[in-house]
Each structure stands twice: as C-alpha cells, then as structure tokens.
C-alpha cells in the first residue's frame, strides 16, 4: 500500500475486495498528499491506524470517505478526527460497530476543528449477532433454513 500512498497526484482511490492484503493497514506519514475521495468497499481490514498518531500529516486534502459493506473494521485512525477538509463520511451496509467508529470521528471533528458541518450519511447498516450453538443444533437450523427456500 505504501507505493500507492506515495503517488503525488492521486485524488480518488477506491479499494475493493481483495485490493488490500492482511487485516491491518497502517497509514504512512505524509501519504496521500492530494487524495480527496477515499472509498473502502468490502475490504477485510480489521485495524486501520496511522504510523504516528501525534502527527497531523495524513490525508491533508481528504473531503469524502466512503465505507461500503465493511464488516470487520474495529479501529480507524485518530487522524480522521483532525482533518479540517473532511466534509462527508458515507457509511453504507456496514456492521453497526463501524458506524460507532464514524460517530467518534464526528465528535473529534467538532472538538478539534469546530467542524459541526461534517455530514454523516448512514444507510442500511447491519446489526450482527454471533450465536454459539452446539454443532447438532446448527445442522438442524441449517436444514430448516435450507428447507424454507426449497420448492416442492
């Protein structure tokens, strides 16, 4: 990812599916100098951080962040709460924990920049429940679920 971060004139970046390898993405300081729009769609990143949390040298021109069908993300870089150019964050069909992370960014934007105009657009987010079931019960539920979609 560091090669892409160094592209001096990159303004729009869309990362989809397996465009990212691994569950961790650490931003490089000074990376993405002209990026205005960043879209993450169906990436499996869990931990998204910055190399130096005390530095303000990340995404200096970012205006829009789009998160689509993100299910595993647990952390987002604190720098997103300090980017004065950030106008909109779109959250679409993500795990509801992702929306919570975005709300923390919104609060940080208000506190750090006085940015009360940041737009958070949230559509169709998903609440996940993880059930621990005995294996035999999983099979019965699976067969019952499958049977509901089989026509006679």
The structure tokens listed for 65 are: 């962040």
Rounded CA Rg of the chain: 19
- Residue 102: its H or E element: helix 96-113
**Two structure tokens written together for 28:** 């490089």
For residues 2 and 145, which has the higher predicted lDDT (pLDDT)?
A: 2
| Tally of domains within the chain | 1
User: What pLDDT sits at residue 37?
Assistant: 98
In a domain, 66, yes or no: yes
CA–CA separation, 142 and 152 (whole Å): 18
How far is Cα 130 from Cα 132, in angstroms, rounded to an integer? Answer: 7
Identify the domain containing residue 95 by its residue range: 2-147
Q: What are the tens digits of pLDDT across the range 54-105?
A: 887 899 999 999 999 999 999 999 999 999 999 999 999 998 899 999 999 9
Q: What is residue 64's three-state secondary structure?
A: strand
Is residue 152 in a domain? no
pLDDT at 127: 55
Contact 62, 89 (CB under 8 A): no
Q: What percent of the chain has pLDDT over 90?
A: 62
Q: Please give the C-alpha separations between residue 32 and each of 6, 35, 82, 85, in angstroms, as whole numbers.
A: 6, 5, 15, 14
Mean pLDDT of the region 6-29 = 92
> Phi-psi bin for 112: left (phi > 0), alpha (psi -120 to 50), beta?
alpha
Q: Is residue 38 part of a domain?
A: yes
Q: What are the two backbone dihedrals, phi and then psi, of residue 42, each rounded to the nearest 5 degrees?
A: 55, 30
Whole-Å CA distances, 55 to 23, 42, 78, 142: 23, 28, 10, 50
Please tell me which residue, 24 or 134, carries the higher pLDDT value: 24
Beta bridge partners, 27, equal: 50
């Amino acid at each position: 990812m560091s090669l892409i971060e160094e592209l001096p004139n990159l303004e729009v970046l869309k990362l989809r599916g397996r465009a990212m390898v691994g569950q961790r993405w650490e931003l490089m300081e000074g990376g993405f100098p002209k990026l205005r729009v960043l879209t993450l769609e169906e990436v499996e990143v869990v931990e998204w951080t910055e190399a130096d949390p005390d530095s303000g040298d990340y995404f200096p021109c970012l205006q829009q962040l789009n998160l689509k069908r993100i299910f595993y993300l647990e952390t987002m870089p604190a720098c997103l709460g300090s980017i004065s150019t950030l106008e909109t964050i779109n959250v679409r069909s993500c795990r509801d924990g992702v929306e919570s992370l975005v709300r923390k960014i919104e609060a940080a934007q208000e506190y750090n920049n006085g940015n009360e105009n940041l737009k958070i657009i949230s559509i169709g987010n998903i609440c996940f429940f993880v059930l621990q079931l005995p294996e035999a019960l999983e099979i019965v539920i699976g067969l019952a679920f499958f049977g509901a979609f089989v026509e006679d």
